[in-house]
Structure 1
Amino acid sequence: MTMTYTGDVSPAGPADVRELDALTIRKASVGPMDNNAYLLTCRRSGAQLLVDAAADPDRLLALIREGSREARLDGILTTHRHHDHIGALASVVAVTGARTHAGVDDAHAIADAAGVRVDGRLRHGSMLPLGDLALEVVALRGHTPGSIALVYREPSDARAPGASPGRAHLFTGDSLFPGGPGRTSGGPDFDSLMDDLEQRVFTALPDDTWVYPGHGRDTTLGAERPHLAEWRARRW
């Protein structure tokens, strides 16, 4: 893979591109709330998935064309129902005809707010195909009832005896950021999100897992893991 990717982007700037063996990740920032949008491209098949059609449909369509001259878009994954993550959803669907996917408990609200049909209603543990690849759905309940993250695992080197699994890449929406979990209403919602993060993310994935959040800079699970007790104590 290339080593120049930093994940630092701005609304007026270019996408940052990360080339993995089987997947290309393009990160761009859009809209007045500086939302991150991610275009995932299967390098073998050319299939493409957009994570969060948040705002600025023209910029997102240009991003899609960066991955495919034919502006191919197979799917759009919406990480959660909040308005700043669906502002360009209807426009991008209208131009590309892409299938839409969201967590089952947010799907109805997204469909109503964006005026689009949600084709794939995803649950914890679902697998979302992307060409020759597959992404695992992780439900992270708390920021919204149906918030989801996606995990892509790089293939291990099958030629190496005892090779460990390849690095994981985690697209978290607004459920995990550098420095803490996403915003909740507190109380049970905070506890739910922290429980899911600890059990489904920090226990399940190693420290070198790269985290791609819905706003701002990237991080790794290793950078955040030492602070879990601190987040619990401060309640945010």
Structure 2
Amino acid sequence: MDYTGDVSRGSAPAVRTLDHLTITKVSVGPMDNNAYLLRCGDDQLLIDAANDDDTLLALIGPAGLSTVVTTHRHGDHWQALEDVVSATGARSLAHSDDAAEIPVVTATLAEGDTVTVGDCPLEVIHLVGHTPGSIALLYRDPNGHGHLWTGDSLFPGGVGNTHGNKENFASLIDDVERKLFDRLPDDTWFYPGHGKDSTLGAERPHLQEWRTRGW
């Protein structure tokens, strides 16, 4: 079946197979958080050990896990982190500006860093506004379009919640426009922290609309 990215808690994971990277998306927890297991060669990396540790550990399976990346500090994105790290021995990475509020972080990340899963590099992009240390991860498929994991910084229909804080909203929309939309082509597929996926091309026409409404 073609990958759609449509998942819900308790549904089967959605699996997308690229030439070098396999992406498995699953929804966990009462807030329907998306967790993403990336596999390149014999190596696996998890983006957001959000909840339902049994589900995540079953997904990881006997192949093991080398790395967990937490996209930001909010608790719904790391409820299973301690259990997953304890069970797998994986390193736990997060941006330095959010690390203090995440229960286990073994090393910190910054803008422009590269996190690898097997031979597949993921570029760290720092997006300030939803939280101080929110990040996205970018995989540039050498044989296809880009793949971007945006946490809660970018969704179909708008940027992440800044709870009415005008300064935070301005920071987030500026970072999203400058670091994502201005740099990356329309066919870049993005995978958010909740809900359905989209492409930058589908969302690009609405950027000014988002600025005008202020959320």
TM-score, scaled to structure 2: 0.97
Structure 1 match to 2:194? 215
Give the superposition deviation at 1:155.
0.7
Give the superposition deviation at 1:130.
1.2
Larger-gyration structure (1/2): 1
Q: Does 1:63 align with 2:59?
A: yes
Query: Within 1, Cα distance between the matches of 2:207 and 2:14?
Result: 29
Q: Does 1:78 align with 2:74?
A: no
RMSD: 0.9
Structure 2 match to 1:168? 146
Of 173, 191, 202, the match for 2:170: 191
Structure 1 match to 2:185? 206
Please tell me the residue identity of whatever aligns with 1:124: E
Structure 2 match to 1:227? 206
Which structure 2 residue ranges, 5 or more long, are not aligned?
A: none
TM-score, scaled to structure 1: 0.89
Which structure 1 residue ranges, 5 or more long, are not aligned?
A: 157-165
Query: Within 2, Cα distance between the matches of 1:133 and 1:12?
Result: 29
For the Cα contact (< 8 Å) 1:61–1:71, is it kept in 2?
Answer: no
Count of aligned residue pairs for this structure pair = 214
- Give the 3-state SS of the residue equivalent to 2:72 in structure 1: coil
Of 72, 85, 92, the match for 1:100: 92
Query: Within 1, Cα distance between the matches of 2:202 and 2:10?
Result: 28
Give the superposition deviation at 1:71.
3.7
Please tell me the residue identity of whatever aligns with 2:177: E
- Give the 3-state SS of the residue equivalent to 2:16 in structure 1: strand
For the Cα contact (< 8 Å) 1:71–1:96, is it kept in 2?
Answer: no
Of 112, 115, 118, the match for 1:125: 112
- Give the 3-state SS of the residue equivalent to 2:125 in structure 1: strand
Q: Percentage identity across aligned positions? A: 62
Please tell me the residue identity of whatever aligns with 1:153: R
